[in-house]
Amino acid sequence: MQALIKSLLNAERLDLAAASAGAGDELPFLCLLNDFPYGNRSLLAHTQAVMDAVLAQPPHVGPAEEAPPVPAAGETAMMPWWSSMPATYVAALFQHVGLPEVSSPEAGRAGLMPPHARESARAARQLLREAGAAFQVREHAVSLIAHQGRPAGLLGSGAPAEAYMRLSCSLDLGCLYHLRRAELRARGLDEDAPAARRIEAFRERAEEVGVFGRPHRPPLEADEVREIGFRDAAELHRAHNALRYFQLVARMNEREWYVERLRQEADRARGCLHLLVGPAGCGKSSWAREHLPEMAIVSSDQMREELTGDPSDQSQNYLVFQRCMDRIRQRLHEGQQVIFDATNYSEALRSMPVQAARWSGAEIVSYFFDVSLAEALERNLKRRRSVPEQVVRKQHRLLEPPALYEADRHVVVDSEGRPEQYWPTVRPS
């Protein structure tokens, strides 16, 4: 598996049939793909064709006639954290590994089967972690797999430009286009096929919006932000991400409003929200007490116990989170640092604390707990108050790193509790 991942990261062509025959015990998912029929060939053969198509035409970095922008010193908010070509090639290998599982449910299995893409993303995260793939490659590949249906969905729903902008803050739309284009070529579809025309329309729309192969740029240029008073590199970076949030999530679209908002923020004491992200049982609370001991903690479980007498009581969740947000806002307005201890595993669940911090003019630091499902389940059983296993599995499957506008510093915490900042990355001058 290590050799396979090394070849993937170096964008070397892999012979999947040979790998399946030579390392069946080490790479069982390849054998599973080889045994699964897909059209008139095996799913393994189809995957090989997709990977070859990815290598035949490396992902775009932007419109052919325009080079990607090169940020000036301190403008790190203009750059993504993810890897492009390696992640696309990795995604091409793993995007269908969940198909046999979804198509062949176990007898008597309760509940709905997860979607094909979501199951593939779950399996990819697990296999790539076991192989030691870099976080920037692994999680970008997982995002590409999980969102492989978004191009058709965006076009079919007539989504506005802001939808493309928001998605570009979570993954590379150029890579997503290239992955879907490789899939269509592997199926043998010609350029005039409806599916091929749709993916080209997606590319054209992303180019028109200015987010093909690059994340959305904030609505004010760096010089304008500096003139308002944000000259320090870290403050400039935070202001850019706040502007992204106000434009894409809060839907504020007047330039004069942005300028006035930043002027107000420039005169405020700067609080900081530390946002813990991970499924139940991954060790968030213990890690925060050890590594951030001087900071106040606002915990959803503690609030449940305070309001209902039982930290596992879910009956008052609306009130629980409203009270948590009140406490977070109060501390941030006072310029304090505060930790929000909840699962926060999806953007929807993070929306309330992120909103509270952005409107308070605070900095946001996210901590993504990169723990395997097996370890999360084991730790959950050792907790004084464990949660049902299916809850941990669901949260782990739906886990997603924060988008660029959700935090100003992104930190990944490994299974040993070691933190490492992965965005903004330190780039050579």
How far, in Å, are 8, 36, 349 from residue 219 at the CA level? 36, 48, 26
Of 208, 211, 216, 218, give the one whose Cα is nearest residue 246: 218
Cis omega (within 30 of 0) on the bond before 424? yes
Instruction: Give Cα 157 to chain centroid, integer Å.
Output: 22
Q: Is residue 342 helix, strand or coil?
A: coil
Report yes or no: 401 and 82 within 8 Å, Cβ to Cβ: no
Report yes or no: 376 and 284 within 8 Å, Cβ to Cβ: no
**Does the pLDDT at position 111 exceed 90?**
no
Q: What is the pLDDT of residue 9?
A: 78
Instruction: Give the residue-averaged pLDDT of 104-113.
Output: 52
Q: Is the pTM of this model over 0.85?
A: yes
Q: What is the pLDDT of residue 426?
A: 58
Show the tokens assigned to 296.
């106040």
The sign of the dihedral angle between the CA atoms of 37, 41, 45, 50 is negative
d(CA 389, CA 119): 17
Q: What is the pLDDT of residue 283?
A: 92
- H helices of 23-134, in order, are 28-35, 43-56, 85-94, 99-103, 116-130
Answer with the residue of higher pLDDT: 164 or 304: 164
- Looking at residue 258, its amino acid is Y
**Does the pLDDT at position 160 exceed 90?**
yes
Comparing 15-24, 77-86, 262-271, 286-295, the range with the smallest average pLDDT is 15-24
Of 355, 406, 367, 413, give the one whose Cα is nearest residue 169: 406
Show the tokens assigned to 407.
């935090």
Instruction: Give the residue-averaged pLDDT of 76-81.
Output: 90
Report yes or no: 79 and 424 within 8 Å, Cβ to Cβ: yes
d(CA 162, CA 149): 18
Instruction: Give the residue-averaged pLDDT of 315-323.
Output: 88
Comparing 74-83, 352-361, 413-422, the range with the smallest average pLDDT is 74-83
Q: What is the pLDDT of residue 120?
A: 94
User: Confidence band (pLDDT; 50, 70, 90) for 23?
Assistant: low
Give 7-30 as a 3 state SS string. HHHCCCCCCHHHHHHHCCCCCHHH
Q: Which helix (H) or strand (E) holds 338?
A: strand 337-341
- Write out pLDDT tens, residues 128-139: 998 888 999 999
Answer with the residue of higher pLDDT: 342 or 5: 342
